[in-house]
């Protein structure tokens, strides 16, 4: 088997004439089930692809034992034997859980946590863990300790986003058909948008979460996957739900295509003062016109409909500082005090300082952030819309270095806020949101559109995503 890496204008991919070919995860599972090739064959091909592209994109953090748990999964599992990877902030037996940080020891985890168990229950075969920025606190996996950044396979001069950075780079490059991610401020949807992938953040509590997150005053983190097709994401959520379903939410079920006509609110504003770059807005406006031509009703929405103002950004950043402190403390406890605080990333240290300075503001920030959920849900009722459509990102993909953690902290945060002006709303509100590819910018990099809905409406968002995939087929990196 020969793995072919193609590099043109700094684009790299590992799509090859092997058993994986151009198959998505659903098709790989079907081929294994039909006996066209084995789970071991799929794992061998995936490992070869991952090793080939990793030198270019820096996506793998820790290598695991090939052909592991997925091969032992029940034959009826949705993704039996399909090769995949897990984000390195998720305890997985045999792999270190260093959470993107050089400050933590690299001792392998003794057992997998509940998040990994749900992931494995779908049949996926974890071959490695994927690189991420320290503690998942930033939108680009760039490091101050000399490690190589995670690069975008569409153009390695640019970031793959974050914090599910390595997962996105491996899936977008064709090395893997599907990979695990989690989303605390856009960490699935941001890399999905920047790498031309599908990324769904479910309703708060939809999937199994890390046990320690249950004590957060506002739980902003959701688990999911990054994929190249809508059907893979839909199949994953249906399979995860079969493993463990949250009975407080309506079931997602197995969504298999577009649904009925919807009333969709078009959002062209950011929650920040920086607004949305026209390069990100233009393809979403044209998508809205195409959806209207398909019979959907499109109405304009304003951030005023959500009763949000500039205070949301301040409150979110205040809470982000608290989360940084809790993450560092939690990881230190899990490592039994074996943490080198001097090795913490400059951004992490900056967030810890900012958190201490704003300590008195934390109770008020938490109270206002908790109120966002009710305002968000009421907006859908008051405006009579089924979903919101917006750009995923407020700025096009930045080059490596734009979010260098070694730059002055205030400049770093200003650049981050300017880039990420939409996704955090759904982490705070708890409502689901999905990013789908929506075109290519002038630099040849993918752009994303986001559909967001009220709690429990993942099925509606998947139906809309299927329709986008039909009327505006997603670009392929190997085309």
> How many whole angstroms separate alpha carbon 457 and alpha carbon 449?
17
Specify the pairing of strand 178-183 against strand 151-152. unpaired
Q: Which tokens sit at 212?
A: 């320690």
Could you tell me if 82 and 177 are in contact, meaning their C-beta atoms sit under 8 angstroms apart? yes
Q: Which tokens sit at 62?
A: 């820790």
Q: Which of these is catalytic: 165, 187, 270, 390?
A: 187
CA angle 155, 19, 471 (to 5 degrees): 55
Q: Which of these is catalytic: 84, 87, 173, 222?
A: 87
Q: Which of these is catalytic: 84, 112, 163, 429?
A: 163
Could you tell me if 40 and 170 are in contact, meaning their C-beta atoms sit under 8 angstroms apart? no
Active site residue 201: no
Secondary structure percentages of the chain, helix, strand, coil, to 5: 40, 15, 45
Q: Which tokens sit at 235?
A: 């199949």
Residue with tokens 């959701």: 222
Specify the pairing of strand 60-63 against strand 178-183. unpaired
Could you tell me if 82 and 27 are in contact, meaning their C-beta atoms sit under 8 angstroms apart? no
Strand partners, 446: 440
Active site residue 173: no
Could you tell me if 57 and 194 are in contact, meaning their C-beta atoms sit under 8 angstroms apart? no
Long-range contacts of 350-354 (CB under 8 A, 24+ apart): 350/409, 350/412, 350/413, 351/137, 351/320, 351/321, 351/324, 351/325, 352/321, 352/324, 352/325, 352/328, 353/409, 354/317, 354/321, 354/409
Active site residue 87: yes
Could you tell me if 61 and 128 are in contact, meaning their C-beta atoms sit under 8 angstroms apart? yes
- Annotated catalytic sites, by residue? 87, 163, 187
């Amino acid at each position: 088997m020969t793995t072919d890496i193609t590099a043109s204008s700094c684009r790299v991919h590992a799509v090859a004439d092997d058993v994986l070919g151009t198959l998505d995860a659903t098709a790989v599972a079907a081929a294994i089930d039909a006996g066209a090739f084995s789970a071991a064959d799929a794992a061998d091909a995936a490992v070869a692809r991952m090793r080939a592209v990793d030198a270019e994109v820096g996506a793998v953090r820790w290598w695991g034992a090939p052909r592991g748990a997925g091969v032992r999964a029940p034959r009826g599992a949705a993704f039996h034997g399909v090769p995949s990877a897990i984000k390195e902030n998720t305890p997985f037996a045999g792999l270190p859980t260093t959470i993107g940080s050089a400050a933590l020891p690299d001792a392998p985890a003794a057992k997998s946590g509940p998040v990994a168990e749900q992931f494995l229950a779908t049949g996926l075969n974890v071959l490695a863990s994927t690189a991420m920025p320290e503690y998942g606190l930033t939108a680009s996996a760039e490091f101050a300790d000399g490690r190589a950044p995670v690069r975008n396979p569409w153009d390695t001069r640019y970031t793959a986003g974050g914090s599910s950075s390595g997962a996105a780079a491996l899936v977008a490059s064709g090395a893997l058909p599907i990979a695990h991610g989690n989303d605390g401020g856009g960490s699935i949807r941001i890399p999905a948008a920047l790498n031309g992938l599908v990324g769904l953040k479910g309703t708060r509590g939809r999937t199994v979460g890390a046990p320690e997150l249950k004590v957060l005053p506002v739980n902003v983190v959701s688990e999911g996957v990054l994929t190249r097709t809508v059907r893979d994401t839909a199949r994953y959520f249906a399979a995860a739900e079969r493993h463990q379903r949250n009975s407080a939410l309506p079931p997602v079920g197995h969504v298999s295509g577009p649904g009925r006509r919807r009333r969709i609110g078009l959002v062209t504003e950011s929650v920040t003062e920086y607004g949305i770059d026209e390069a990100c807005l233009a393809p979403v406006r044209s998508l809205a016109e195409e959806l209207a031509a398909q019979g959907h009703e499109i109405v304009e929405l304003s951030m005023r409909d959500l009763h949000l103002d500039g205070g949301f950004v301040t409150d979110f950043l205040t809470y982000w500082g608290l989360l940084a402190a809790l993450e560092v403390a939690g990881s230190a406890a899990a490592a039994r005090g074996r943490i080198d605080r001097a090795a913490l990333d400059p951004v992490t240290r900056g967030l810890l300082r900012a958190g201490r300075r704003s300590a008195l503001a934390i109770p008020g920030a938490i109270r206002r952030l908790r109120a966002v959920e009710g305002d968000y849900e009421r907006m859908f009722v008051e405006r009579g819309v089924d979903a919101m459509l917006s750009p995923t990102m407020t700025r096009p993909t930045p080059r490596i270095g734009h979010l260098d953690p070694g730059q002055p902290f205030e400049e770093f945060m200003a650049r981050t806020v300017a880039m990420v002006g939409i996704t955090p709303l759904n982490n705070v509100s708890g409502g689901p949101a999905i990013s789908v590819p929506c075109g290519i910018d002038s630099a040849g990099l993918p752009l994303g559109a986001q559909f967001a809905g009220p709690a429990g409406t993942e099925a509606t968002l998947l139906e809309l995503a299927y329709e986008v995939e039909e009327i505006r087929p997603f670009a392929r990196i190997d085309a």
